[in-house]
Chains A and B, each alone.
Chain A
Amino acid sequence: MKPSLIGDLAVYGKYSLVNWMKIIILVVRHGPFDVIRDIRRYPWILVLLQVNSLMWRFIRGRTGRYREATAVVMSDIVSSVIRMMEDVFFRGNRLVIHEDMVPPEIMRAMGLAPFMTELMGILMPMIKPHSVENYIDASENEGIPPDICSLPKSTMGLALKGHLPPALAVVTSNLPCDGGMSSYMLIEKKLKLPVFRLDIPYNFDTDRAVKYFAGELRRMIDWLEAHTPGRMDWERLREICEERNKMLEYELELWDMIRIRPAPLAGEPVWLSHMWNFNVTPGSPASTRIYKRITEMGRKNLEEGVSSIKDERYRALLWNPPMIHFIDIYNWAEKTYGISLIMDSMTFNRIPMIDTGTQDSMLEGLGRTIMAGPMARHTRGPAKNYLDDIFHIHKHFDIDMVWVAGHIGCKNTQALNGMLRELCRRESIPLLIINYDLSDPRIVSREGIIEQIDHFMENIMKAEKMAS
């Protein structure tokens, strides 16, 4: 057996065991019969149980601290999904369903248990590529046009099939796009729960907008207090925001490190850690600890002159939400062409720390994390946000090429491709726009995506594949 495979198996063995332990403890706590009942009620549990296979796809072929950091991020996600399942099993009387761009910090500070609806639609295809097709089909059969983005279609499908847990209320917003916003009309009709909607301005970069959205968050707090047992604990919110700030400090240090060529870390320790910890569990000490660990590993790699992958030939920026049904694409790209995914649009942001001085400053800070946050600033705001960020990242992180995950259901970003092509031509930045569908591999398969990348690497980058 090759040494790298032995190493892979060792890391996999260690962390998959840890993951299974966490799962077994939950099964025991909940009671095996209740678990079986709940698996029938929420079939997606069976998909989530296969999370170790995802970890394997992420780590195989990697080495050293990069491999370890990847496994650490995955294991942390398992822990946090277990906590989410605990909320579903044990804290149903506090459960609030929320859309992915609603700040969960507020609900946690109110003693509520937030359940992010879109999370299933994101996590499931990562683990099993075809796992949300039946939800997409359910939406389309209900009359939702097929051209609507497959993430709201998956989410609506979960509601239509009754696979969302019972909850007290729904909190959503007009982010990140029309499809996302409108999908909650159907979800509301299906779930028959009280629904609160946050209104986020288009021009969010002004003091006026920040104050308006802070007002919206206050309105949300009042509404939740009226419709749920949740009560705002401002001290708790302060703790959560301060913890989030600590995590951000580690992240900024990590970003500084990965500017260096070759990068000491890349891929999942950069993007997946952010996606999970800043969107699903911000303000949790466990999240800060994960970031601390990842950053330490990165620092050690840097000190020892160790790069994430042995031969970092190309550094890529991925733009738009990652290809969730081919989520190990970065691992594939590393092995096939020596491409390191350095940064992506769902991670990068320039949001300042949250000022925890007063209630208003906290709400304004949290508001900024949403309004000026990844995806929202790009889909909801003017084209300038989208383009400026790409060109900034290209310079700042010493990027060799930009890959756009050209999700066919995202009309917002499809409508900027023409402009982007011209501007990248002007700046001589190699650009690849991958045509595919975010959650539905039937539209463009994994092989179809690979073919597009192969064409680009061969014809534009004149790249040779790595010897296997």
Chain B
Amino acid sequence: MTFDDRQTRLQDIIDEPLNTWLDQAVADGNVPIGYTCSYVPRALLSLDGLIPVRVRAPGAAGTEIAEIYLSNVTCSYSRSLLEFAMDDRYDFLGGWVFAAGCDHIRRLLDNLDYLISPDFSHMIDAPHRKGDAALDWYIKELDILLEKLADHFGIDTGEEALNAAVINQNRLHRSLKEIADLRKQKQPPISGTEFQRIMMASLTVPAGDMEKALREIKDSVARREKQTDFRARLMVVGGNIDDTDFIHTIESTGGLVVADRFCTGSLPGLVMLDESNDPLTEIAQKTLLETSCPRMMEDFQDRLGSIIDTAREYDVDGVIVEHIKFCDIWGIETGLLVDGLREAGLPALRLERDYRQTGEGQLRTRIQAFLERMNK
């Protein structure tokens, strides 16, 4: 399959919550588990026939039903998920695992439990800081999750199974990183939209299917023409961006997104786990210490520093910091990040958006003006 054909196929895959690969896996007896936050370690949801599925609402339109419960001043991601859930679009999930990531997502679980009573739902009480006590707490929380998974799904959560999950995740991340790293090139062979499509597929399909696709992509991408038709190299920083349309809107103005530092992006998302370490401790450590989310209340300076470092590593011309309207954490963080980036000499644009793809014209205008300001 050519690279472009594979892209079309991947787009079809990610356009449905229950895609064909997942559907086949379910038919084969596997159990997809939905999760909504980066503080839910995927490795733990990959044990013994479970498949981690980052829950999305592709093509979400109105959220009229969800607003009755979640109100219209909550994040449109959480509302869109509830809308889809009320429309039975997630009936294929065997369960939901949340992390106490933010107020809106927590309330989503409250409302899901009330309205749908999923067979299995669990909230990981993720700490808001690092430090030894917080890490111990988090390890215990993950332990509790494993017990519940074992109890409910009858799966093997022993050390051998965990080690295997670590190895498998590393393998997948390694393959993804090989493609992600191509974007450091001056003229990468792959656009941000194309890469985002690959990332989203990797978060929503069985790992085996993804690895097979990645092998083909790696072969076909080597034969691709370099991207030359762009005005500026951009980094996007933000939260849950799971729709390729947003990246596409940015790139339609002539900016090339080379660095994707958001929850569903490759930075720092494709963390490699130390296979010689105790698996649960290693998973907890890497997740808590490296996920880099503004919910971690002590780490603003670290986050800013790491964004600046990444920007230099990827030789970006400017940074777009996005947030979904009504998000409290990102709402406050964005302004501070943009100020900090500008002080460090990096042009930065703050972009407020809706989870659903609307107001494309307005977004394009802002991004075009940003590129013009950079003289690009």
Question: Interface on A for B, CB 8 Å cutoff?
Answer: 142-145, 147-149, 174, 177-179, 181-186, 188-189, 197, 199, 201-203, 208, 212, 215-216, 219, 379, 382-383, 408-409, 411-412, 414-419
B332 touches A179 (CB 8 A): yes
Please, which residues of chain B bring their CB within 8 A of the CB of A379?
Answer: 103
A417 touches B71 (CB 8 A): yes
Can you list 13 contacts pairing A with B, beta carbon distance less than 8 Å? A145-B352, A181-B329, A185-B300, A199-B128, A199-B129, A201-B137, A212-B133, A411-B74, A411-B104, A415-B71, A415-B103, A415-B108, A416-B110
A202 touches B100 (CB 8 A): yes
From A183, A208, A382, A419, B332 is in contact (CB under 8 Å) with A183
The winner among A189, A409, A412, A418 for most chain B CB atoms within 10 A is A418
A145 touches B73 (CB 8 A): no
The distance from the CB of A412 to the nearest CB of chain B, in whole angstroms, is 5
Is B89 in the interface zone, CB < 8 Å from A? no
With the chains together, A181 CA to B294 CA distance in Å? 10
B336 touches A411 (CB 8 A): no
Is B331 in the interface zone, CB < 8 Å from A? yes
Q: Considering the complex, give the chain A residue whose CB is closest to the CB of B110.
A: A383
With contacts A147-B331, A178-B102, A212-B137 taken as known, whether A419 is within 8 angstroms of B111 at the C-beta atoms is: yes
A219 touches B300 (CB 8 A): no
Q: Considering the complex, give the chain A residue whose CB is closest to the CB of B126.
A: A202
With contacts A143-B350, A216-B133, A219-B133 taken as known, whether A181 is within 8 angstroms of B297 at the C-beta atoms is: yes
Please, which residues of chain A bring their CB within 8 A of the CB of B329?
Answer: 178, 181-182
From A182, A189, A201, A417, B294 is in contact (CB under 8 Å) with A182
Please, which residues of chain B bring their CB within 8 A of the CB of A181?
Answer: 128, 297, 329
From B69, B140, B331, A145 is in contact (CB under 8 Å) with B331
The winner among B106, B113, B332, B335 for most chain A CB atoms within 10 A is B332
A144 touches B331 (CB 8 A): yes
The distance from the CB of A343 to the nearest CB of chain B, in whole angstroms, is 23
B125 touches A415 (CB 8 A): no
Please, which residues of chain B bring their CB within 8 A of the CB of A142?
Answer: 335
B140 touches A208 (CB 8 A): yes
With the chains together, A177 CA to B329 CA distance in Å? 10
B297 touches A415 (CB 8 A): no
The distance from the CB of A149 to the nearest CB of chain B, in whole angstroms, is 8
Is B328 in the interface zone, CB < 8 Å from A? yes
Please, which residues of chain B bring their CB within 8 A of the CB of A411?
Answer: 71, 73-74, 103-104, 107, 326, 328
A147 touches B326 (CB 8 A): yes
With the chains together, A182 CA to B108 CA distance in Å? 20
The distance from the CB of B73 to the nearest CB of chain A, in whole angstroms, is 5
What 6 A-B pairs come out closest when comparing CB atoms? Answer: A143-B335, A418-B69, A415-B107, A383-B110, A414-B71, A178-B328
From A199, A212, A216, A383, B107 is in contact (CB under 8 Å) with A383
With the chains together, A34 CA to B268 CA distance in Å? 53
The distance from the CB of A201 to the nearest CB of chain B, in whole angstroms, is 5
B68 touches A418 (CB 8 A): yes
B332 touches A144 (CB 8 A): yes
Please, which residues of chain B bring their CB within 8 A of the CB of A147?
Answer: 73, 325-326, 331
Q: Considering the complex, give the chain B residue whose CB is closest to the CB of A181.
A: B297
A182 touches B100 (CB 8 A): no
Is B61 in the interface zone, CB < 8 Å from A? no
Please, which residues of chain B bring their CB within 8 A of the CB of A408?
Answer: 73
B333 touches A185 (CB 8 A): yes
With the chains together, A189 CA to B103 CA distance in Å? 24
Is B70 in the interface zone, CB < 8 Å from A? yes
With the chains together, A197 CA to B68 CA distance in Å? 35
With the chains together, A438 CA to B325 CA distance in Å? 20
Please, which residues of chain B bring their CB within 8 A of the CB of A409?
Answer: 73
A179 touches B70 (CB 8 A): no
With the chains together, A174 CA to B102 CA distance in Å? 11
Please, which residues of chain B bring their CB within 8 A of the CB of A143?
Answer: 334-335, 338-339, 350
Please, which residues of chain A bring their CB within 8 A of the CB of B52?
Answer: none
From B68, B297, B339, A182 is in contact (CB under 8 Å) with B297
- CB-defined interface of B122-150 with A at 8 Å, one 1/0 digit per residue? 01010111000110010010000000000
With the chains together, A334 CA to B331 CA distance in Å? 40
The distance from the CB of A203 to the nearest CB of chain B, in whole angstroms, is 5
- CB-defined interface of B248-275 with A at 8 Å, one 1/0 digit per residue? 0000000000000000000000000000
A197 touches B71 (CB 8 A): no
With the chains together, A414 CA to B334 CA distance in Å? 23
With the chains together, A219 CA to B332 CA distance in Å? 27
- CB-defined interface of B312-340 with A at 8 Å, one 1/0 digit per residue? 00000000000001101101111110110
With the chains together, A69 CA to B47 CA distance in Å? 63
With the chains together, A216 CA to B127 CA distance in Å? 12
With the chains together, A416 CA to B110 CA distance in Å? 8
B74 touches A419 (CB 8 A): no
The winner among B71, B333, B339 for most chain A CB atoms within 10 A is B71
Please, which residues of chain B bring their CB within 8 A of the CB of A179?
Answer: 328, 332
Is B219 in the interface zone, CB < 8 Å from A? no
Q: Considering the complex, give the chain B residue whose CB is closest to the CB of A146.
A: B331
Chain B residues 138-175 with CB under 8 Å of chain A are 140
A412 touches B69 (CB 8 A): no
With the chains together, A290 CA to B39 CA distance in Å? 47
Please, which residues of chain B bring their CB within 8 A of the CB of A189?
Answer: 336
Please, which residues of chain A bring their CB within 8 A of the CB of B360?
Answer: none
With contacts A142-B335, A208-B140 taken as known, whether A415 is within 8 angstroms of B69 at the C-beta atoms is: yes
The distance from the CB of A182 to the nearest CB of chain B, in whole angstroms, is 4
With the chains together, A189 CA to B336 CA distance in Å? 9
| Given pairs A199-B128, A208-B140, A418-B69, 11 additional interface contacts (CB within 8 A) | A143-B334, A147-B73, A147-B326, A178-B328, A181-B128, A185-B333, A186-B336, A212-B133, A219-B133, A383-B107, A415-B70
A177 touches B103 (CB 8 A): yes
Please, which residues of chain B bring their CB within 8 A of the CB of A199?
Answer: 127-129, 134, 297
Please, which residues of chain A bring their CB within 8 A of the CB of B111?
Answer: 383, 415, 418-419
The winner among A142, A182, A212, A216 for most chain B CB atoms within 10 A is A182
Is B295 in the interface zone, CB < 8 Å from A? yes
The distance from the CB of B107 to the nearest CB of chain A, in whole angstroms, is 4
Please, which residues of chain A bring their CB within 8 A of the CB of B110?
Answer: 382-383, 415-416, 419
Please, which residues of chain A bring their CB within 8 A of the CB of B331?
Answer: 144-145, 147-148, 182
Q: Considering the complex, give the chain A residue whose CB is closest to the CB of B113.
A: A383
With the chains together, A263 CA to B295 CA distance in Å? 44
With the chains together, A65 CA to B326 CA distance in Å? 46
- CB-defined interface of B261-302 with A at 8 Å, one 1/0 digit per residue? 000000000000000000000000000000000110110100
A414 touches B74 (CB 8 A): yes
Q: Considering the complex, give the chain B residue whose CB is closest to the CB of A415.
A: B107
The distance from the CB of A197 to the nearest CB of chain B, in whole angstroms, is 5
Q: Considering the complex, give the chain B residue whose CB is closest to the CB of A216.
A: B133
Q: Considering the complex, give the chain B residue whose CB is closest to the CB of A418.
A: B69
